[in-house]
Amino acid sequence: MAADGERLRVQGSVSGLRRVFHAVIDGVRVVSDRADVLAGLGGFALDDRRPRRAG
């Protein structure tokens, strides 16, 4: 994670082991390495039907 003025950059690991998920909750962009946590915080349904990317 890096901040430059008003810009923020978040990146997961190159290997894909640590992926980054994001959502807008109450007008605020929130990031996490856990999609289920973001879904719970935002009251969203977790769509786990999406195929995972191969390494």
* Per-residue pLDDT tens digits of the chain, which is 55 residues long: 888 988 888 888 888 788 888 899 999 989 998 989 999 999 998 877 765 665 5
Q: In this predicted structure, what is the pLDDT of residue 43? A: 93
* Three-state DSSP class for residue 38: helix
Nearest to 6 by CA among 25, 29, 36: 29
In the chain, the largest separation of any two C-alpha atoms, in whole Å, equals 37
Q: In this predicted structure, what is the pLDDT of residue 55? A: 52
